[in-house]
Chains A and B, each alone.
Chain A
Amino acid sequence: MSNLNLLELKNVSKTFVSGFLFKKKVVAVDNVSFSIPGEKPVIFVLAGESGSGKSTIARIILRFIKPDKGEVLYRGRNILTFNSKELLLYRREVQAVFQDPYSALNPVYPVDHILSLTARRMEVAQGKEIEEVIDEALISVGLRPEEIRGKYPYQLSGGQRQRILLARALIPRPRLIVADEPVSMLDASLRAEILNLMLDLKAEHRVSFLYITHDLSTASYVGDYIAVLYKGSLAEVGPIDDVVSNPYHPYTQLLMSSIPIPDPSKRWQEKIAAPEISVAREPVSGCKFYDRCPLRKEECRRAPPPLKKVGNRHVACYLY
């Protein structure tokens, strides 16, 4: 594997404008930079709550929308400069799985449709070979081709559909799969299977994942690294075990302490204050976490803190 970072975001920003007369600006992504290392396959977690910008980043990486500022480099090359041939190669190497297995498959076709389409359009195989490629992909995600081929999405369960989507993503032999909340809509017992599948795929097929989620328990189960987003900005980036057990950024601390632990003997002891944030807020000039931060200082209000290297990770906080 090359020494280059597999994927690198540099100062990526994206603002959405809505409305014709009364223009409303929403800064979805604000100067985000992080890199996914490429020497060996990793599962890189992009964590954040609703409104954090994580889905927008996913769409930027998948080239569904263009950032207003900044670059996205795949193996050193700016993905926005790709021509159509390079874009095809990019799509072969960077695939995706989405959150809702129910809406990700076109209900009017049997599931074979999207599988063989991917095989053909991604120039993976021709003619008869396509069937072998599809069967192989289905087997590698733990499905039996005889049970799946020819079936319509409504005939399959959520877990089966999600596996099919993973199989589809594997067909072009990608280096990176962007998984946007792949297990949130599945039952707990199914989640474990899909998460284990991701770990196995990483080990056996050498695929890296960009695992986007708000669920830190599943994130810490599969993840190697984590980048925590808050309202479009990065709060903390680092190896996941360290960040989870010893969070530096006050927001990360708040997040970690809010995760319900499935153990009745480990109940929350202290109470946290009710977060009464009103919806309409003017853009803040300083740190975005200022009003909720228990450790805030005067300087936090003046300018957003830069992402600094602290120990084995990066933190955007004036405390460091």
Chain B
Amino acid sequence: MRVLLKIEELTVAYESDSQRLLAVNNVNLEIFQGEIFGLAGESACGKTTLANSILRLIKPPGRIIGGKVIFDGVDLLSLDENELQKIRWEKIAYIPQASMNALNPVLRIYDQLADVVRAHRKDILDEEIRKRAEELFVSVGLAPEVLKMYPHELSGGMRQRVIIAMSLILNPKLLIADEPTTALDVVVQRGIIQLLKDINKKFGTTILLITHDMAVHAQIVDRLAVMYAGKIVEVGPVKDMFEKPLHPYTQMLIASIPRAGEKRRLSGIPGLPPDLRKLPPGCLFHPRCPFRILGRCDSIEPELKQVSKDRKVACHLYDR
């Protein structure tokens, strides 16, 4: 499998006055072409910052202070703004959180789509745009009449489909979707999840899906990475991750998810995520970990190491 996106030792910091916190802390990640890759983690774990930094959308007081983001062999962090503009939307499309509410309320859907296209392809004809838009809309399950409508006339689910269509219009290789179903009803959510799967199958688009909802990951992704306090703690095929989670955080996270019909007592994770300004020594999870090894987990930070063919864990329990 060919590696499409390789993130190497990426670190993003937020600095204010005298304090600095590492929102993304030395992250290493590989996403293969054609797969659906899931990034899981709870609030403030850094997954949205990670998504933003791939396309260099981090604004002060945030700053990328180290690492590489290698897309198709090119380090995106070394490109200048013009070259990066050619990548955004054309090669990598990004759907930020709540973007379905960010549609311009005074423009018709078609005009907004056309805007996007013309910003990247100046000479394209109107008929071409219209043809492509209509084809795309059918693929995402929208009637072509929607092109003439205004955002407020559409339901939440329809708007999300519009956003997805907009992101695909220039045929990107990679689609990054941050919490694409969070605000939607469960039936609509299922439709969107299905849609993402269809897009991946039909167009071969690689998808990086970011969400805290583990059930959504279970339904759609091929491989999954779990983030905690800015670091990746485990990566692997989704089936293995759920069947046999290795990292204690992953285990406890999965154990805390209710399943309709199951009455087994759920367990939460006691304690709180660390204050990113004052990180604990050693493993960032150790204060809450029931399996911590005294003398080791509280002083030495575990590295993300390969423990089997497709699995990586950052945990001392799996040190040889």
Contact = CB atoms under 8 A, between A and B. Distances in A.
Interface of A: 49-50, 157, 159, 187-193, 195-196, 214-218, 220-221, 241, 244-245, 254-256, 258-265, 267-268, 271-272, 274-280
Contact of A255 (B141, B187, B263): B187
Contact of A244 (B189, B212, B261): B261
Interface in B174-192: 185-191
B285 to A, nearest CB: 12
B276 interface: no
Interface of B: 42-43, 141-143, 152-158, 161, 185-191, 193-195, 212-216, 218-220, 238-239, 242-243, 252-254, 256-263, 265-270, 272
Nearest to B156: A50
Given A214-B186, A272-B190, A192 B256 contact: yes
Nearest to A189: B269
A49 B186 contact: yes
B191 A275 contact: yes
A221 B257 CA distance: 10
Q: Which 9 pairs show the lowest CB-CB distances between chains A and B? A: A274-B141, A193-B268, A192-B268, A192-B266, A189-B269, A260-B215, A187-B42, A262-B215, A49-B185
Contacts of B42: 187-189
A152 to B, nearest CB: 17
7 contacts: A50-B185, A188-B42, A190-B269, A191-B258, A191-B268, A192-B267, A274-B141
A189 B252 contact: yes
B262 A221 contact: yes
Contact of A260 (B153, B193, B238, B243): B193
B142 A254 contact: no
Contacts of B269: 189-190
Nearest to A157: B272
A261 B215 contact: yes
Contact of B188 (A196, A275, A279): A275
B213 A217 contact: no
A216 B218 contact: no
A271 B190 CA distance: 9
Contact of B258 (A159, A192, A245, A256): A192
Contacts of A216: 186, 260
A292 B16 CA distance: 52
A254 B193 CA distance: 16
A49 B187 contact: yes
Contacts of A259: 186, 215, 260
A188 B186 contact: no
Contacts of A255: 186-187
A157 B274 CA distance: 12
Contacts of B189: 258, 260
A260 B261 contact: no
A262 B242 contact: yes
A288 to B, nearest CB: 14
B191 A260 contact: no
A189 B219 contact: no
Nearest to B238: A264
A260 B219 contact: yes
Contact of B155 (A192, A221, A279): A279
